[in-house]
């Protein structure tokens, strides 16, 4: 039964070719934008979010994550873990601007873009192979353009379906490109801890 489901979601019914789904996720997006716009923050632990008794971390830079800080954590807890972190209030307009430009890059790879949030989206590039190359080639170009045009790093996971593509993008973060093909897909997933299964 499971094998049948995997077969259904991994193949394009029109072409009978394996589907190629990319999950593109900007690394530590809010914090990375702050480090991009303020060079004094680069290489330092940065927390984006609210302050005060009820403040919550919206994003933590990878430097802050080394101390255990993460998004959705109370700000007070994050600052106890990393007292020298720089606390920055969010700038929604700036994040939205860069998100729009990021999505525009994705839409040049395929019209089949499904945003999940400001900083991540699924892109079905199955129909783009003839024009743009295979999934790795397309993902590499997305990563290059995102860095050159926006100054941001995007991790990309490629797989025959969305579920596995999202897992793949997170496996080697930050600055990752991971592809999991239909061949041996179940065996590859079997080696992962259950915590890797999103949702």
149, 105 contact by CB (below 8 A): yes
Report, as residue numbers or ranges, the catalytic residues. 120
User: What pTM was computed for the model?
Assistant: 0.85
Q: pLDDT value at position 16?
A: 61
Interval 152-198: pLDDT, tens: 999 999 999 999 999 999 888 899 999 988 887 788 888 888 888 77
Average pLDDT over residues 140-160: 97
Q: Are 185 and 160 in contact (CB under 8 A)?
A: yes
Q: Which tens digit of pLDDT belongs to each residue from 116-138? A: 999 999 999 999 999 999 999 99
Higher-pLDDT residue of 145, 191: 145
Q: Could you tell me what percentage of the chain is helix, strand and coil, using 3-state DSSP and rounding each to the nearest 5?
A: 45, 20, 35
Contact between 56 and 48 (Cβ < 8 Å): no
How far, in Å, CA of 122 to CA of 21, rounded? Answer: 7
Q: What pLDDT, on the 0 to 100 scale, is given for residue 6?
A: 42
Residue in 79, 103, 81 with CA at minimum distance from that of residue 29: 103
């Amino acid at each position: 039964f499971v094998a049948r489901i995997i077969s259904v979601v991994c193949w394009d019914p029109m072409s009978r070719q394996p589907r190629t789904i990319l999950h593109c996720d900007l690394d530590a997006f809010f914090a990375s934008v702050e480090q991009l716009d303020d060079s004094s923050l680069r290489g330092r632990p940065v927390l984006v979010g609210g302050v005060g008794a009820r403040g919550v971390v919206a994003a933590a830079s990878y430097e802050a994550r080394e101390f255990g800080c993460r998004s959705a954590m109370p700000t007070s807890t994050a600052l106890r873990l990393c007292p020298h972190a720089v606390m920055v209030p969010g700038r929604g307009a700036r994040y939205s601007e860069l998100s729009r430009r990021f999505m525009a890059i994705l839409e040049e790879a395929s019209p089949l873009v499904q945003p999940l949030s400001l900083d991540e989206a699924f892109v079905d590039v199955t129909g783009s192979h003839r024009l743009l190359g295979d999934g790795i080639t397309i993902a590499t170009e997305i990563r290059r353009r995102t860095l050159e045009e926006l100054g941001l790093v995007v991790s990309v996971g490629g797989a025959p379906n969305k579920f596995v593509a999202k897992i793949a993008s997170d496996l080697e973060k930050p600055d990752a490109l991971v592809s999991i093909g239909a061949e041996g897909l179940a065996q590859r997933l079997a080696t992962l801890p259950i915590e890797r299964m999103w949702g």
